Chain A
Amino acid sequence: MKVTIDGQAIEVEPGTTILQAARMIGGEVVPPAMCYHSKLKGSGGKCRCCLVEVAKGSEADPRPMPKLMASCVTGCQDGMEINSKSSPRVQEARKSVTEFLLINHPLDCPVCDQAGECDLQNLSFEHGKSESRFIEEKRTFEPEDIGPNIQLHMNRCILCYRCVMVADQLTDNRVHGVMDRGDHSNISTCISKAIDNEFSGNMIDVCPVGALTDKTFRFKSRVWFNKPYDAHRDCPTCSGKTTVWMFGNEIQRVTGRKDEFHEVEEFICNGCRFDHKDVNDWVIEGPRAFEKDSVINQNNYVKKLETVVINTEETILLGREVDRKKISMAEIDYNEKIDGNPVNSTKNG
């Protein structure tokens, strides 16, 4: 099957979603996704960040789809033509969703452990505005303790349902879920039960925001001050393939290995995540690479560093020579032409 996204064509297997096709193409056509997670069955469709415009339904039925479609749950059809970033309607919708997700969000990035690897930060960076139109009081929730490993910050939650799916699909007894409804919906165990299943820590990795963070890493470091390494150990419960986050010789945090779409490659067990913080427990494979615009690269050394020379005196303080001449008007060339018109022509001004 052939689909075209923002003018770029690709061959895909039947059953591929638009989002998957876009990820195959890569780059700017990839819609943002906050709730979809390829390794969680039934995820997606909820956050509406990944809306795209289907300009041509298929070769057989070329009619455009009237509404924007959630690309993560819409299957490709042969001959389908999709507008993602290229469509102003799509851009507008993404801006709208970003605004909705942020109105009640506490915007507490400076004290949030997710900062630096937060999908909502990335989304607002791309589609957000610097000012809020929301002047009402923000919705807040009473805190709830869900055990020694995971910190729940309900005020930051965007209700992607991923953690509920992790509990459903990876563990045999889900003890937390989504309670209440509408904008009061919240993640809770209701009975303050510790979520202690041995795969429960994956809730942290799938959480796109700072609603579920690692209690053992709480306030220890900003993620970009850590050096992430791929590491593995012989684990009886899971694959043992992880990323360890180091500060000096100390492992401050262990997570699953996240790909460029921030999805873990393999889910890991709580043993690996919380109980093995000794460097000697791990075989370090090498530095973990992140996508190029990630702040985590701030402290990364995967790429070769090039020496940057800033000639302050010459280019900043003094300015370019040509400009200096013009500003002083001492040696102006009145016959210089811009776009075919003389500089001193009235057409310019």
Chain B
Amino acid sequence: MERTHYKQEINITDSLMTRINELISHYPEGKQKSALLPVLHEVQDAHDNWLSFELMDKVAEILQIKPIEVYEVVSFYSMFNQRPIGKYMFEFCQTSPCCLNGVEDLMDYTCEKLGVKVGETTADGLFEVRGVECLGACGYAPMMQLGDSYKEHLTKEKVDQIIADCRDNKITLHDK
């Protein structure tokens, strides 16, 4: 399947490299490939939450593995994004227990408020709404994942507040 290639500015900072090396040290000599998933998370978090092929090639180089091994893994796991995405991605859990507590209505509400459909990014590139599968918060439904944290027991009012907080730059996506 042909894939679209998006340009991305790559910046592996010293502190990021230090963290990567620390992650690699968690595995025995020669087993550095094991660090792939944690390294991808770190690298993605530092690059606007998505991974271009150039960035994946860079990860392959750091871990001394073939680029294809990185592509295979990135495309398998749902948390890695292969295109530029909205800065604040609202990932609503849409599996049964959340549906019992009205997540579908809440998604409709959020989409309407932001003027997008599920899977789309707002024109200003700020928001994106997605439906994802069970996030393990069934007892605290409806909920969504935003960056590294869960927003639970959601209501329309809470969603309004989160959107406002995002616009005011009050939300930390990745706690480093």
* Chain B residues within an 8 Å CB radius of A190: 3, 53, 68, 71, 75
Q: Which A139-183 residues sit within 8 Å CB-CB of chain B?
A: 141-145, 154, 173-181
Closest-CB distance, B9 to chain A (whole angstroms) = 19
| Tally of contact residues, A, Cβ under 8 A | 21
Q: Which B1-35 residues sit within 8 Å CB-CB of chain A?
A: 1-3, 5
Q: Which B52-68 residues sit within 8 Å CB-CB of chain A?
A: 53, 66-68
* Chain B residues within an 8 Å CB radius of A189: 68
* Residues B2 and A175 in contact, CB atoms below 8 Å apart: no
* Residues B1 and A175 in contact, CB atoms below 8 Å apart: no
- Separation of A81 and B1 alpha carbons in the complex (Å): 45
Q: Which of A173, A174, A180, A192 contacts B2 (CB 8 A)?
A: A192
Q: Which B26-51 residues sit within 8 Å CB-CB of chain A?
A: none
Closest-CB distance, A94 to chain B (whole angstroms) = 29
- Separation of A173 and B5 alpha carbons in the complex (Å): 22
Q: Given that A144-B2, A192-B2 are contacting pairs, would A180 and B75 also be in contact in the complex, using a CB cutoff of 8 Å?
A: yes
* Residues A179 and B66 in contact, CB atoms below 8 Å apart: no
- Separation of A180 and B80 alpha carbons in the complex (Å): 11
Interface of B is mostly: helix
- Separation of A145 and B1 alpha carbons in the complex (Å): 9
For A141, A144, A175, A179, which residue has the most chain B Cβ atoms within 10 angstroms? A179
Closest-CB distance, A189 to chain B (whole angstroms) = 7
* Residues B72 and A142 in contact, CB atoms below 8 Å apart: no
Closest-CB distance, A7 to chain B (whole angstroms) = 44
Closest-CB distance, A165 to chain B (whole angstroms) = 13
- Separation of A179 and B53 alpha carbons in the complex (Å): 13
* Chain B residues within an 8 Å CB radius of A143: 1-2
Residue in B closest to A152 when the chains form the complex, CB atoms: B1
- Separation of A87 and B1 alpha carbons in the complex (Å): 40
A-side interface residues toward B, CB under 8 Å?
A: 141-145, 154, 173-181, 186, 188-192
Instruction: Give 28 pairs: A residue, B residue, CB < 8 Å, sorted on A.
Output: A143-B1, A143-B2, A144-B2, A154-B1, A173-B66, A174-B68, A175-B67, A175-B68, A176-B68, A177-B69, A177-B71, A177-B72, A179-B1, A179-B71, A179-B72, A179-B75, A179-B76, A180-B75, A181-B75, A181-B76, A186-B1, A188-B1, A188-B3, A190-B71, A190-B75, A191-B3, A191-B53, A191-B67
